[in-house]
Structure 1
Amino acid sequence: MNMMTRRGFLAASAAAAAFPIPRTAMARADAPLALIAATRTLDINGRAATVFGLAGPSGQGLILDPGQRFQVDLTNTLDIDTIIHWHGQTPPNVQDGVPNMPSPMLARGETRSYSFEARSGTHWMHSHVPTQEMQLLAAPLIVRRPEDLTADRQEVVMFLHDFSFKPPEEVLADIGGGHGAVSHGLHGNHGASTATQPMPDGGHGAMNGMAGMGGMSMDLNDYDWDAYLANDRTLSDPEVVQVERGGRIRLRVINAAAATVFWIDSGKVAARLVAVDGHDVLPVSAARFGLAMGQRLDLDIDLPSERGAWPILALREGARERTGLILATPGAEVQRIDAMAEVVAPAFDIDLAQEAKLLARTALPKRPVDRSHMLMLGGSMQPYVWTINGAIWGQHSPVTARTGERVVLSFHNTSMMGHPMHLHGHVFQVVALNGKAMAGALRDTVYVPPNSMVDVALDAGEAARWMLHCHHMPHLATGMMTEFQVIA
């Protein structure tokens, strides 16, 4: 294999590390942090790409120290109106970042101040306009805990995207018109792999999107993107993170992709999954973990004591494409990694086996359930329309509750695609998988595979309209959104 060359970013967007995790905060705890929505230029496989970004004091994103309040001045320098959602945080509804629910978008040149108590953990922030998120208007939002400052470990962020050189409106038109990915069942299987994958109902079919479910085909990927990015880079020029021999790494992985589920593969070094969506779970050891759109994983990795380079790869489910970064000790030989794997990665968690292993360190307090709702997740590739309880956004009936009630939401997926379901303004606990009770992980985004049901419990918070939607951007853009309406 050839030695890897390092091109870096174009001069137009040259900066320090794009996703830094410094030891101390860059600003005083009582001073607002400046966050700027701006255009930037990336080098993607040798081609210039103009994208959006969220620039903080030390690069893309924000890092808060323990106890530091989320106190941010957001400035929009784009040529279009925008608004930012603080994914994983639970701010007052007026600061939640959804267009006109209730706050309007920020006009060009406008600055808006935000201030609320930050929720610790690995989170992120992004535009709540699907086409803008598809143009990479997103960044990490890390809120440290006291042990993060004292632990003998190095922190690394891996921020994942899928990317197209086409305008997002054209991408959505391609998908909606049936001209997206070539590897999924309903739109054909032009030369794709035919490996099989068992399904929850006992059927078998191809992992690349032809998996059988009661005689129907399962769709994994509905668009073939031009590139898959880890920290704004592809495997033609990945980020190489310098690490110590025998060191411990806390890897914070964020899936900010518009429509791609990834497997996080640590290769020859085993990892321990210690948190999901910013909330601790009982550790689970493995070399591969799946991650749906909007979700986050915290992995502890113990490196060997010798000199070396260890790739951490993100594998596109049901396909061969991959991206990632490389952990390398000083002086280690770093070899080129092909962006196409030799084998197709499997479908993610179609039997909910990974989710079943995730148990909360601190569960919700036990109490009677005051209200339950069933949410039927539906839709199809042709026509390309996705619904909750049979309705698209604008024709929906709100899911209701009263402040303080214990609520159970049952997500029942009757469609042939998986749906990462995200609820704003609340933390919920996974309490049942396909009817089997469990004290599962605390989350804000849960993946519901086809032909499956996931129950989550929560305590209804501030009386307001809170968004509840699929975090697959083309699904959201075509209507897969409703509201969780809490009344006093």
Structure 2
Amino acid sequence: QPQYDAPAGGLVRLRAAITDVTRIYGFRVDGAEAAVIALDGNPVPQRFAPDALQLGPGQRLELAIRMPDDEGAIVSLRDVRGTKPKVLATLRAVGQSLKRDLRDLGPLEPNPVAEVDVAAARRIPLALSATAENVAADSICGSLGYSFWAINKVPWPGDTPDPTAPLAELKLGQSYIIDMENLTPHAHPIHLHGMSFKVLSSSTRAVQPLISDTYLIQPDEKVQLGFVADNPGDWLLHCHIIEHQKTGMTSYLRVT
């Protein structure tokens, strides 16, 4: 709950990174006009108010906040998910108003992420489910002694010398679409290493074509994530809630 001073009537760029590996947050700003300008290190196509925006472990949020004109006014960044909303940080307006406008903040420069060719893309089915099979082996990060989650019905065996086969073997430079379905009653922040994807569509809501490396999939949601396999190697794909990762919800993509 830090408090920062900021010029009254000025613009503040606030970055929050979720380093708690267990909690999903619902972000809201009270006491000032605010807009989401970037998520997970990428500018959003269209800025929007953080109205209980849900983000999970490992995700990054960047806000532009227009401070109040009155000296001493308090702006709060809150987590409103759950039954007990919490204040995460506050900003205090100081000095005479600078009378700025959120529209003064120009567009952010896009990152050089390859554009997916949807028409030529190959599909990768990905189902998130629960399991009680195949106890995970001890590994460098330890083990909880059981498996509970799975990707495409395969629970991750642990960081062993002979891991499970890759979820898919991808051709370098080819476009792909992950057809991800959440069959569980829990939300999962699914994180891809090594590459970024574009959010193409969701079965439950309208989505912006965001560029990201993490997608918080809701219960019973189906989502399409498009990307170009432009980075050779074996790349982890897992839930960023570490208990879920360590108990089976982990796989990897192989790009050659």
Say whether residues 1:379 and 2:134 are aligned partners: no
1:369 aligns with 2:87: no
| Structure 1 contact 380–415 (Cα < 8 Å) conserved | no
1:276 CA drift (Å)? 1.0
Offset at 1:396? Answer: 3.7
Partner of 2:4: 241
Work out whether 1:413 is the aligned partner of 2:164.
no
Q: Offset of 1:458 from its aligned partner?
A: 0.6
Answer yes or no: is the 8 Å Cα contact 1:265–1:288 preserved in 2.
Answer: yes
CA offset at residue 400 of structure 1?
Answer: 1.6
Deviation sequence 1:288-347 (CA, Å, 0-9, x none): 4222222111111101111112221223x333152411101349xxxxxxxxxxxxxxxx
Q: Does 2:13 match 1:250?
A: yes
1:313 aligns with 2:78: yes
Contact 2:116–2:227 (CA under 8 A) maintained in structure 1:
no
Residue type matched to 1:427 in 2? S
Greater radius of gyration (CA): 1
> Do 1:245 and 1:303's aligned partners in 2 also have CA atoms closer than 8 Å?
yes
Contact 1:424 1:444 (8 Å CA) reproduced? yes
1:256-298, CA deviations, whole angstroms, 9 ceiling, x for partnerless residues?
2111111112112121111111111111135442222221111
Change (3 A) 1:437 1:366: farther
Is the Cα–Cα contact under 8 Å of residues 27 and 50 in structure 2 kept in the other structure? no
**For structure 1, which runs of at least 5 residues remain unmatched after alignment?**
1-237, 332-360
Match of 1:277 among 22, 27, 40: 40
TM-score, L = length of structure 1: 0.42
Q: Is the 8 A contact 2:115 2:227 kept in 1?
A: no
Provide Cα deviations, 1:230-279, integer angstroms capped at 9, x if missing partner: xxxxxxxx211011111111111211211111111211212111111111
Counterpart residue identity of residue 305, structure 1: D
Provide the C-alpha distance between the structure 2 equivalents of 1:473 and 1:265, rounded to a whole number of angstroms.
25
Q: CA RMSD of the aligned region, Å?
A: 2.6
Identify the residue that residue 165 of structure 2 maps to in structure 1. Answer: 397
Which residue of structure 2 lines up, in the alignment, with residue 468 of structure 1?
Answer: 237
Describe the superposition over 1:38-66 as per-residue Cα deviations: whole angstroms up to 9, x where unpaired. xxxxxxxxxxxxxxxxxxxxxxxxxxxxx
How many residue pairs end up in the alignment? 220
Structure with the bigger RCO (C-alpha within 8 Å, sep 6+) is 2
* Counterpart-to-counterpart distance in 2, 1:285 and 1:366: 28
- Counterpart Cα distance in 2 of 1:328 and 1:413: 41
The 5-angstrom pairing of residues 13-412 of structure 1 reads 238-281=1-44, 282-307=46-71, 308-315=73-80, 317-330=81-94, 365=115, 367=117, 368-379=119-130, 385-394=148-157, 396-398=164-166, 399-412=168-181
CA distance 1:389–1:396, change in 2 (3 Å): farther
Whether the 8 Å contact between 2:19 and 2:57 is mirrored in structure 1 is yes
Match of 1:441 in 2: 210
1:89-129 CA-partner distances (Å, limit 9, x unpaired)? xxxxxxxxxxxxxxxxxxxxxxxxxxxxxxxxxxxxxxxxx
1:430 to 199, 219, 239: 199
Post-superposition Cα deviations, 1:117-161, rounded to whole Å, max 9, x if no partner, equal: xxxxxxxxxxxxxxxxxxxxxxxxxxxxxxxxxxxxxxxxxxxxx
Q: 1:364 Cα deviation (Å)?
A: 5.4
Deviation at 1:389, TM superposition (A): 0.6
Deviations 1:183-240 (A, max 9, x none): xxxxxxxxxxxxxxxxxxxxxxxxxxxxxxxxxxxxxxxxxxxxxxxxxxxxxxx211
Q: Which runs of 5 or more structure 2 residues have no equivalent in the other structure?
A: 96-109, 133-145, 158-162
2:243 aligned counterpart, secondary structure: helix
- Contact 1:259–1:473 at 8 Å: present in 2 too? yes
**Distance in 2 between the 1:407 and 1:436 partners?**
22
Q: How far does the alpha carbon of each residue in 1:415-451 deviate from its partner, in whole angstroms, 9 at most, with x for none?
A: 1111111000001000111298966100000011111
CA shift at 1:404, angstroms? Answer: 0.4
Give the Cα–Cα distance (whole angstroms) in 1 for the partners of residues 206 and 32 of structure 2.
33
On the 8 A contact 2:237/2:252 being kept in 1, the answer is: yes
Could you tell me which amino acid in structure 2 is paired with residue 388 of structure 1? Answer: I
Which amino acid counterpart does residue 408 of structure 1 have in structure 2?
I
